[in-house]
Amino acid sequence: MRICVFGAGAVGGHMAVKLARAGHEVSCVMRGAHLTAARANGLTLEAGGERFTARVAASDDPATLGPQDLVISALKANSLGGLADGIGPLLGPETAVVAAQNGVPWWYARGLGARPAPPDLGFLDPGGRLAAALPAGRVIGGVIFSSNEIREVGVVVNDSPERNLLVIGEPDDAASARVAELRAVLAAAGIGSPEVADIRQVIWSKLIGNMTVSVLCMLTGKTAAGAFQDPALRPVLPMLMSEAAAVAAAHIPGFVRFNAGGGGPPDHKPSFLQDYELGRPMEVDALITAPAAFARAAGLATPMIDLMAALAVQKARDAGLFQAPAPM
């Protein structure tokens, strides 16, 4: 397949190397020093004590790459404007786009069926640019379970050798030939992609951790494992998780948390903390603002999450990594 990974940072670079090594024609939209290194030396993945390098067609201009069979968007939620602007040249008549990101996705309201209506999520797609660039039928939902970081340009290090999944599904959860084919492609490349009946169950399953543990790690500077092991934090985590799970259950009837496997929490800094430490814009809207809107829509009180979120927003804002909207 001709596969473009749009946003080949830590997670995207991991997938690009594995897909290229599986024999696919892989291209990557990327930028900066990471792009320069990939052009010169290929992309390298360090995982499970081994080191793999793959050549990919790397560019910061999607127009040079041509139409693809599949595009996997691995951009952070706050960078998706680049996808809206650049996706056009990559789309052929049948090209599907896997939207793999943390937090509440911009397409969440599509294909909901009889589920409770979500709150207004327009702030996740300002001006409707993504919806216009990727109309119904293009998007496949995706949820990543894989801990990665870039420790040097052109080199991705995987910190979760027992858990590397890209879980996918149609926005309306219908069975489709393209999703079945893509699951097989991913599995053959060493990227787990189990069959699931409800992609939003998986979204909320990861979001419960993102809106609690990831935010707590950003506030404390700890890895996920470090947060769970800290005696001072250990009693707090179940209370945070309980509040988050209640929000999920209010919007997903019969909610059962998806088991991604891989044992306990990784000794890995979540990307929310990585972004803060590296001075990169942060996914505050997708991980904090949107879940809070879901809680309000369900009439749920989440005092512990609200306090932690307020501290995280202030910290990100004071570092110049998030601009909160002006009060009405």
- On whether the CB atoms of residues 11 and 51 are closer than 8 A, the answer is no
- On whether the CB atoms of residues 276 and 321 are closer than 8 A, the answer is yes
**At 113, is the pLDDT very low, low, confident or very high (cuts 50, 70, 90)?**
confident
Q: What pLDDT is recorded for position 115?
A: 84
**At 172, is the pLDDT very low, low, confident or very high (cuts 50, 70, 90)?**
very high
Q: What pLDDT is recorded for position 328?
A: 33
**At 325, is the pLDDT very low, low, confident or very high (cuts 50, 70, 90)?**
low
**pLDDT tens track for 275-309:** 999 999 999 999 999 999 999 999 999 999 999 99
Q: What pLDDT is recorded for position 266?
A: 87
**pLDDT tens track for 178-187:** 999 999 999 9
Q: What pLDDT is recorded for position 327?
A: 43
In CATH terms, are 2-197 and 202-318 the same topology?
Answer: no
Q: Which of 18, 206, 222, 269 is catalytic?
A: 206
pLDDT greater than 60 at residue 326: no
**pLDDT tens track for 226-271:** 999 999 999 999 999 999 999 999 999 999 999 998 778 889 999 9
Average pLDDT over residues 94-99: 97
pTM above 0.75, yes or no: yes
Q: What pLDDT is recorded for position 116?
A: 87
Q: What is the CA radius of gyration of the chain?
A: 19
Task: Specify the fold of 202-318.
Answer: N-(1-d-carboxylethyl)-l-norvaline Dehydrogenase; domain 2 (1.10.1040)
The amino acid that residue 311 corresponds to is: L
Distance CA 136, CA 61 (A): 25
Distance CA 203, CA 105 (A): 8
Please give the CATH number for the structural domain made up of 2-197.
Answer: 3.40.50.720
**At 324, is the pLDDT very low, low, confident or very high (cuts 50, 70, 90)?**
low
**pLDDT tens track for 306-318:** 999 999 999 999 9
Distance CA 26, CA 70 (A): 10
- On whether the CB atoms of residues 70 and 2 are closer than 8 A, the answer is yes
Distance CA 32, CA 91 (A): 24
206 has catalytic annotation: yes
Distance CA 291, CA 247 (A): 8
Q: Residue ranges per domain, the chain?
A: 2-197, 202-318
Map the chain to HEC letters.
CEEEEECCCHHHHHHHHHHHHCCCEEEEECCHHHHHHHHHHCEEEEECCEEEEECCEEECCHHHCCCEEEEEECCCHHHCHHHHHHCHHHEEEEEEEEEECCCCCCCCCCCCCCCCCCCCCHHHCHHHHHHHHCCCCCEEEEEEECCEEEEECCEEEECCCCCCEEEEECCCCCCCHHHHHHHHHHHHCCCECCCCCCHHHHHHHHHHHHHHHHHHHHHHCCCHHHHHHCCCCCCHHHHHHHHHHHHHHHHCCCCCCCCCCCCCCCCCCCHHHHHHHHCCCCCHHHHHHHHHHHHHHCCCCCHHHHHHHHHHHHHHHHCCCCCCCCCC
